[in-house]
Amino acid sequence: MTELVDTALERIHSSANLADLEAVRVDVLGRKGVLAQLSKDMGKLTSEERVQRGKFINAAKQSLEGAYDALKAKFESEALAARLDAEWLDLTVPAPGPKRGALHPVTLIQWEIEDLFRSMGFSVLDGPEVETEHHNFDALNIPPDHPARDMQDTFWLEGHHLLRTHTSPVQVRGMEKLGPPLKMIAPGRVFRNESVDASHEHTFYQLEGMMIDKDVSVGNLIYFMKTLLTAIFHREVTVRLRPGFFPFVEPGFELDIRCLICGGPGCPVCKQSGWVELLPCGLVNPHVLRSSGIDPKEWNGFAFGLGLTRLVMMRYAIDDIRWLQSGDLRFLGQFA
């Protein structure tokens, strides 16, 4: 009997961890364990023997349970110590600073150009992205049957509304609201129903400009455009002026710049031509002035529409327009 108890004690002591110990407990102290075995033949004993056996069992129970409890407590405190060790925090370590966000490159350049034009006395105007057909087309001398409407694939909405295809409707709003003389720019988001590739997006940014005064000439226009481009690129940029047709300007021009990504030989951004159409412009068509209530005999002006998105791509040598709308933090983080 003593041997049985000793073996059981030894088994308890030889368990290496809590899981071991639990298995041993089932074997030794459980329903089929040593103590149960010792009580099995109690019925056959004399009352004298039964008293002795009872004492023995009690003593065995005490020593087995005592050994079990002690070892269990030891394992548990070791586990706790290990956990405390692993989860220890050094509260004196300085916290890492907040991560700084970055402005979108379009915002960066937009703000730069706004500052430049403000310094030359221009107001910065805003207009709605959901426009009326009137402001986006009719008031700009583009009547419903005019072929120029096909040049701008339009997202039409209900009730003669649309997503503005250019920032030029803000010219109309500026003339209606402020009247002449007028010096304004209007940066903003525009939309066209285009299939998307490296140089086309359905959503992009333009920056419109307009000046109305007495005796405004193409000379004034060229002066402002040169000032603008020098300020933006901080370097000599090769430009060329071609005649360009827009119903709201007459004469109209296309101002191209040498592709700043490839420098001339051709790449996807300049569609292999070496030139990038950057800036359509011209003198405001008298029809446009008249439809906004301005007398073209008294006033005239120039207007330009800068492709802000394209300009950003040139300035930062971004070779795929899709990056700009991607929301990809690896891209955006570079402008911090």
- State the residues that interact with ligand PHE by CB under 6 A: 166, 168, 246, 249, 280-282, 303-305
Q: How far, in Å, CA of 291 to CA of 176, rounded?
A: 9
Nearer to ligand PHE, 15 or 167 (CB): 167
Nearest approach in angstroms of CB 304 to ligand PHE is 5
Nearer to ligand PHE, 212 or 249 (CB): 249
8 Å CB contact between 56 and 64? no
- Residue whose C-beta lies closest to ligand PHE: 305
The pair of structure tokens assigned to 98 is: 């907040």
Rg (CA), the chain: 42
Nearer to ligand PHE, 149 or 160 (CB): 149
Cβ-proximal residues to 275 (8 Å cutoff; 6+ apart), any chain: 240, 256, 257, 258, 259
Q: Which amino acid is at 288?
A: V
Nearer to ligand PHE, 60 or 212 (CB): 212
Nearest residue to 130 (alpha-carbon basis) of 88, 92, 153, 164: 164
Nearest approach in angstroms of CB 285 to ligand PHE is 10
Nearer to ligand PHE, 105 or 169 (CB): 169
Nearest approach in angstroms of CB 194 to ligand PHE is 13
Alpha helices in 158-291 (DSSP H): 169-178, 218-233, 286-291
Nearer to ligand PHE, 1 or 151 (CB): 151
Nearest approach in angstroms of CB 295 to ligand PHE is 21
Nearest approach in angstroms of CB 332 to ligand PHE is 26
Provide the angle, in degrees to the nearest 10, between the axes of the packed helices 218-233 and 308-316: 40
Question: What is residue 328's three-state secondary structure?
Answer: coil
CB atoms within 10 A of CB 8: 23
Burial class of 115 by CB neighbour count within 10 A (0 to 12, 13 to 18, 19+): exposed
Nearest approach in angstroms of CB 115 to ligand PHE is 21
Q: How far, in Å, CA of 173 to CA of 123, rounded?
A: 13
